Structure 1
Amino acid sequence: MQSHVRRRSSRAALATPLEDRPSPYLGGTGKTPKVEQAARMGTAGAGISEKDALGLGIGTARSGAGAGGAGGGRDARGAPLRSGGRPGEHGPPTTQEALARIGSILLRILRTPRALALLGTLSLVWFTSSYIRANSHHLSRRPVNPRLLPLIRHSGNIVHYVSPKLGGRLKSWHDYQVQHDPNRPLTAEELEAQSRHTFHPNGLLLVNDKGRHPIHLLIEDGERKWKEKVARQSKTLSEAVREYKQRYRRNPPKGFDDWWRFCEENNVQLRDEYDQINHDLAPHWALEAHDSRHRNKVMQDRDHTFTVAMHPGETQPTLHGPYWDLKRATDIAEMLSLFTGRMHRPLNITYIIDDNPAVMLPYAQRERMVELGQAGEYYGPSEFIESEDPTLSNFAQACPPNSPLRRSERGEFTPDYSGEAVRSFVWNHAKIADLCLHPEARKLHGHTMQQGVPLGPLVPLFTFAKMRLHSDILTTPIEQWEAHYVGYEPPWEGKSMNKLLWRGSTTGVEFNRHTPWRKSQRARLHIMSHETEGTKTILWSQRGQLREANVSVATLNDLYMDTSFSGALQQCDPETCELLERTMDLKPTIGLDESNTYKYVMDVDGNGWSGRFHRLMSMRSVVLKSTAFPEWYQDRVQEWVHYVPIKVDYSDVYDVMAFFVGTPDGQGGHDSLAEKIGEAGRQWARDFWRFEDMAAYMYRLSLEYVRILHHDEGDVDYVEMPSFDL
């Protein structure tokens, strides 16, 4: 029975010859090896059981035959026959069958261990990349074990070939980790960068406590600048003309060649450094010549003035005006007599007798006038200038709109560069004196703590002291100046007092109950140097490196300071005078012989400029100068070479003295550097601040101003003729 079933099954399965059945795997007419083998075995009838036949694929043929017999439309494998076709010819699978077959294959693949591992790996990569992409900024700055850094570097190099962008990010990550590794030894360049001080645009050097002592750097930088300035000065008239045109974009004034001869005759130095004159006269170029002459004439009748009149061919100028008989006026006329006869046109210049400036313009008006003057146009009644904020002080209204002084008065945030907030030194004294950049200094000086002179029209008033935001014309004061000062002049090693000396009267502010006089410049210097309570941190130098020491204020004042009010009390009402006598340690004045024994002397402002600066510079002592008034010689002197600049708040005085004198226990002094500055200052006063040097400044200023008064008449420029000397 089993044999019959087996034979029957074989015949039914072989109703369609195996040779003619297409392979389901090859898709053609080729034969499947196992099926072909089973067919041969079936024809042999060699006792193959049904179970064995199923193992060889024959059983499927059997069951398929049965299905085919029942349905009449399927082949031996159960596949539907083509319409109208013969058995064995298959039609294409439907889309549903194809998708089902593909899904079945994928399901079988995904059930394998390798597929599950691959799927998990891809999911992990996707999650990791997404997290890194979302948190790359924080992850890149998270510390990495230093052992992994070489792996990151090599990975970046390899990935760069596949994805330059990703490779670059890996390299950047590596570089960041290397640079921020706290245990990595720094290179020489990195050490220098970390110890670098900040030269702020406002004129302050902000101290980096990891660097060298900044005074070493300031002295080196000052010496370099001074040597470069002296070396680049014009040596001939033609060079001076070219330099003038390059700086000011116009021809020199008529008479410039004679001014050059005056400089050669009197050995005047630094013949290109007259930028102050150009700054003072810049807005006057916007006035028509007849308007300038009218304003000049009106000023001659103004109160608190005197006028010096110069006429060509006359060696002596004449004086007139309300205060023509002052000694200050006669001294000025004597200096101008050195060049009065060389003037090619008559000129009247009017001086204000006060120690303070008197002319200040709103910032927008001055800038507009400077702009028009540079363009060769004129400022007239039709010019509309937007009014300034009346709630601001006059000083702030004369400053640029976004200047620190304006922002501070508007209640906006401004960085605090006072000595209480940041440790600093002066690297550019002219910028330190610019109130627009330093609102912290406004309440620390008798002149700036007031509202400021009234804003008004541009008038030609010549003054002895002004700030950069004033529009007066700065001149050279003669008061307290002497060619030679009588007194004992010991050499540096003969100066027995290794302290800072200052004696002065109670000027600089009105000492009354309505004025905060305790914050004024001179009062603060006296009060500070007589304090005995508390301690103070000072900077000192140990083999060039910055060090700190905490010292009692009483010890510092006893070691460094000999500064005090002296003489009769001035500018104080009875109540305040009595208070000063009772609370201030007033000392007697000292003579030149005694003052010359001090190695360090202090120079501060009075009601205006300091008239004693020339005398102090002639003493071979180190002059520490604190001022709000840049003077006519500002472009012709070098801080830290000829003198030591001091902030208005005096926050750097003790640090400067600690550098030169040393700490209370005798460490870190630089007496030789102090001697060098003292000698350089004495030589500068002797060679660069002579009577002839002041006359050369005023001669050039007179030539520039007379051109402004007569530029409508023609022949007001100096035009150099070409040279045909072969």
Structure 2
Amino acid sequence: MFDTRRKSLTTLLEEAVPVQSKSLLSPEERHRIQLETYQLDPIKATRLNERVKSPLADSPAHFDDSYDDSGKSKRSGVTPTFRVPRYRLLKLWRQILSILTVAGTVLVFLQDPAVSGSRIKGWNQWPQVSRTELSLRGQRRMSQRIRSKDGTSMIGDHSARFGVVKVNPDSSVHPIRLLIDDSERQWTEKVAKQSKTLKEAADEYHRRYKRSPPKGFEKWWAYVVEHNVPLPDEYDQIQRDLAPFYSVSPNKLNKRIEQASKSSGTFTLKVAGGNVESYHEYDSKIVESGEQRPQHQIELIQPIAHHLPDMTIVMSVSDTPQNMLSWHHRSELLNRDDQDDFFDDDKSSDGVNGFAWACPISSPLFNAARHKKKESKSGLHDLSAKSFVSDLREYMNICNHPELLEQHGLLIGKNPPMESPSPVFSLSKTALHADILGVPTEQWVEGGLVPAWKDRKNDKILWRGSNTAMHHDKTVSFENSQRLRLVNLTNYGGNGDLVTLSPNVGEQSLRDGATVAHWKGINEDQMDITFTGKPLQCDRNDGTCDKIARNYPFSNKRMGHDEAAQYKYVIDVDGNAWSARFNRLLTSGSLIMKATIMPEWYSDRIQPWVHFVPLKMDFTDLYDVVAFFRPSLTNPHAEDRLASRIASAGREWALTHWRREDMTAYMFRLYLEWARLIAEDRKSMDFVYNVDMESRRV
């Protein structure tokens, strides 16, 4: 728990805490300062404003005519920069745009139409781009064609796009029923096609990633076989995280590791001769978890340390991710065909900041301000606006969901700079962050006995937690953060009516079977959601803490494990970063409804709608999800059987796929990959198959 007796962030900043003294602050104070100062320094920001407008500005940014619309220089050897043209150049600029329009149109027919699509898909959500880049208009035209042909899929007679299925009110089949059926099929197929032998695993690795596995792959495979680690092919997250580093030379990468190890916000693991040691620059007596997190990571890999090459690993001690790459920079890094010719990214800083720059120019986020829409209808009240998460990984792609910037505390008000790849492992990240994702172990449990579904006495929807997510003060829209919105929605959501879909419409359409009920009555009947303790991470001096205490319900009653285990339905929602309680909640045997934008190490190894129910971050689908699964006197046909099945599958998954051995297997494979990246001769660290290494999974 955070200590609310400490000074507020505003007080600390007003007292002008020296940089060198920040390490003396408590972890929550350091984290809060990091959250608020997660942007360019004022001097750099001032210079930047003179050079370019954010892509989220009301009007499009104009680029210097020496550079094409992607920001890449037309003259070789020139570092990309952006400038706002002076008025006297406007006429010339228009002439150049006309020429580029013609050239772009020609190039549209010469280039692969998949190059510039705004839809991000496949194991690598940051695909390679063509070396011959199209003009801005050419890319836009091409992306529009792709979106019209490939941007939408169908789930039954409901349309899906960017990981969200939009309800067709005229359909007679509930979309949740279709999502469950489709997800169960996907999960069955994924499990069935997993490699059974080392040779199969190596071949599948090469098929997916177009390179050989790392040296030591056979030792990792032996660990998988010995400990019956499931889904041995599903480690795509590692490739997503490490792909940009292949274009950075080992020499430069090791220099950056040395620099990062000296940071006050990191700890370093040193693997040498099969032993693992840790060291750090911060004062572990002051930094909460500053001693525990290094020790947890050592314990995680100690069983396999004797199989690891000597290496240095730098990990962030913070909850939150730090590193961002611009789309242009990432594309250049991923487009290196000759790995002997490394990319000198020190000389290619884009000099821009803001989440939109991490997205392709054709993406909804980059174009959010240029294509402002009228205030959309809410799925809480309007049948035609209802939607559900159909693909959680696609939904977490912020490039395609600009609305998430205003719904999650990690994103609200932040303006992160675009940097070079940082060799720092973090405990959490969004789809846009470039941090290397590790495995957090906080709140992990082995699981114990829990009540059977039919014996549980409480069918209300449970959530308890603190008001974490961001620093709360008058300078930010903290009311929009995910936890405050959830508590407000389910306690004081409104005095009007809610429209919910019927779980069993028969031959009726969803429109005809929809029910209307008073919002307040539904909350009183269904919801048991409140904050615990007192307001945290808020400014007392400007009255924010008092405002939160007045406007949101807080409970001082501590709920024990036995009492919580009586609830059938439980919500899990991100806090400052990832939700550390998800493992514990899954093992409880409750039906877990999870709202998140944070991909995790297991995201490719778990199936939404099979092991848990995904929620949108705006919670407009919450009441329809509850209506589908939770029976009541007014809703006797709800799918209690399906709710029980998902709850049971989630618990079984946590007990068989989220063991300590499974976490160790992930880090084992990740560190083998890392050892290859930092080796002076990377090719010497490739795995070579030998039949004598073979072993078979049961």
1:601-680 alignment runs, 5 A limit? 601-662=570-631, 665-680=634-649
Task: Give 1:599's aligned amino acid.
Answer: K
Partners of 2:578 and 2:533 in 1: how far apart? 20
Quick one: structure 1 residues 724 and 356, their matched pair in 2 at CA, closer, same or farther if it must change by over 3 Å? closer
Question: Paired residue for 1:3?
Answer: none
SS in 2 for 1:580: helix
Structure 1 gaps, min length 5 = 1-192
Deviation at 1:419, TM superposition (A): 3.9
Question: Paired residue for 1:71?
Answer: none
Contact in 1 for aligned 2:267/2:278 (Cα 8 Å): no
> Does residue 229 of the first structure (1) align with residue 197 of the second (2)?
no
Deviation at 1:406, TM superposition (A): 0.7
Percent of residue pairs identical = 37
Task: Give 2:303's aligned amino acid.
Answer: L
Partners of 2:668 and 2:580 in 1: how far apart? 22
- Cα deviation digits, residues 637-663 of structure 1 (max 9, x gap): 000000000000000000000001146
Partners of 1:614 and 1:290 in 2: how far apart? 39
Partners of 2:396 and 2:600 in 1: how far apart? 11
Question: Paired residue for 1:461?
Answer: 424
> Does residue 210 of the first structure (1) align with residue 173 of the second (2)?
no
Question: Paired residue for 2:402?
Answer: 439
Contact in 1 for aligned 2:396/2:596 (Cα 8 Å): yes
Quick one: structure 1 residues 323 and 223, their matched pair in 2 at CA, closer, same or farther if it must change by over 3 Å? farther
SS in 2 for 1:404: coil
Contact in 1 for aligned 2:264/2:280 (Cα 8 Å): no
> Does residue 517 of the first structure (1) align with residue 478 of the second (2)?
yes
SS in 1 for 2:366: helix
Question: Paired residue for 2:361?
Answer: 401
- Cα deviation digits, residues 599-634 of structure 1 (max 9, x gap): 000000111100000000001110000011111110
Partners of 1:715 and 1:323 in 2: how far apart? 39
Deviation at 1:372, TM superposition (A): 1.2
**Equivalent residue for 1:238, pick from 190, 199, 210:** 199
Question: Paired residue for 1:593?
Answer: 562
**Equivalent residue for 1:350, pick from 314, 326, 332:** 314
1:295-314 alignment runs, 5 A limit? 295-314=256-275
Task: Give 1:554's aligned amino acid.
Answer: K
Question: Paired residue for 1:338?
Answer: 303
SS in 2 for 1:550: strand
Task: Give 1:534's aligned amino acid.
Answer: G
SS in 2 for 1:542: coil
Contact in 2 for aligned 1:361/1:457 (Cα 8 Å): yes
SS in 1 for 2:635: coil
Deviation at 1:417, TM superposition (A): 9.1
Task: Give 1:595's aligned amino acid.
Answer: A
Quick one: structure 1 residues 572 and 353, their matched pair in 2 at CA, closer, same or farther if it must change by over 3 Å? same
- Computing the radius of gyration from Cα coordinates, the structure with the larger value is 1
Deviation at 1:423, TM superposition (A): 1.1
Contact in 2 for aligned 1:540/1:663 (Cα 8 Å): no
- Cα deviation digits, residues 563-611 of structure 1 (max 9, x gap): 1111232111221222222232212331111111000000001111000
Quick one: structure 1 residues 230 and 194, their matched pair in 2 at CA, closer, same or farther if it must change by over 3 Å? closer
SS in 2 for 1:369: helix
SS in 1 for 2:503: strand
Contact in 1 for aligned 2:495/2:519 (Cα 8 Å): yes
What TM-score comes out, normalization by structure 1 length?
0.69
Question: Paired residue for 1:536?
Answer: 498
Partners of 2:156 and 2:690 in 1: how far apart? 54
Question: Paired residue for 2:549?
Answer: 581
Task: Give 2:315's aligned amino acid.
Answer: Y
Q: Is the helix fraction higher in 1 or 2?
A: 1
Question: Paired residue for 2:670?
Answer: 701
Partners of 1:374 and 1:424 in 2: how far apart? 44
Contact in 2 for aligned 1:305/1:353 (Cα 8 Å): yes
> Does residue 274 of the first structure (1) align with residue 243 of the second (2)?
no
Partners of 1:195 and 1:278 in 2: how far apart? 33
Quick one: structure 1 residues 522 and 684, their matched pair in 2 at CA, closer, same or farther if it must change by over 3 Å? same
Deviation at 1:381, TM superposition (A): 5.6
Partners of 1:586 and 1:593 in 2: how far apart? 21
Quick one: structure 1 residues 267 and 628, their matched pair in 2 at CA, closer, same or farther if it must change by over 3 Å? same
Question: Paired residue for 2:250?
Answer: 289
Partners of 1:195 and 1:263 in 2: how far apart? 38
Question: Paired residue for 2:390?
Answer: 427
- Cα deviation digits, residues 377-400 of structure 1 (max 9, x gap): 311269757x47x5xx61101111
> Does residue 369 of the first structure (1) align with residue 329 of the second (2)?
no
Deviation at 1:354, TM superposition (A): 1.2
Structure 2 gaps, min length 5 = 1-153, 285-289
Deviation at 1:441, TM superposition (A): 1.9
Deviation at 1:317, TM superposition (A): 3.6
Contact in 1 for aligned 2:260/2:424 (Cα 8 Å): yes
**Bigger relative contact order (CA 8 A; separation at least 6):** 2
Quick one: structure 1 residues 560 and 382, their matched pair in 2 at CA, closer, same or farther if it must change by over 3 Å? closer
Partners of 1:582 and 1:381 in 2: how far apart? 50
Task: Give 1:207's aligned amino acid.
Answer: V
Partners of 2:591 and 2:182 in 1: how far apart? 18
Question: Paired residue for 1:196?
Answer: 157
Partners of 2:496 and 2:566 in 1: how far apart? 30
Task: Give 1:585's aligned amino acid.
Answer: P
Partners of 1:696 and 1:415 in 2: how far apart? 47
Partners of 2:317 and 2:461 in 1: how far apart? 32
Deviation at 1:434, TM superposition (A): 1.1
Partners of 1:270 and 1:492 in 2: how far apart? 28
Question: Paired residue for 2:33?
Answer: none
Question: Paired residue for 2:536?
Answer: 570
1:544-555 alignment runs, 5 A limit? 546=510, 547-555=513-521
SS in 2 for 1:372: coil
Question: Paired residue for 2:436?
Answer: 473
SS in 2 for 1:328: helix
Quick one: structure 1 residues 366 and 374, their matched pair in 2 at CA, closer, same or farther if it must change by over 3 Å? farther
Question: Paired residue for 2:111?
Answer: none
SS in 1 for 2:332: helix
Task: Give 2:584's aligned amino acid.
Answer: R
Task: Give 1:480's aligned amino acid.
Answer: Q
Partners of 1:721 and 1:340 in 2: how far apart? 23
Task: Give 1:538's aligned amino acid.
Answer: T
Partners of 1:364 and 1:507 in 2: how far apart? 33
Question: Paired residue for 1:122?
Answer: none
**Equivalent residue for 2:180, pick from 212, 219, 229:** 219
Task: Give 1:468's aligned amino acid.
Answer: A
Contact in 1 for aligned 2:345/2:420 (Cα 8 Å): no
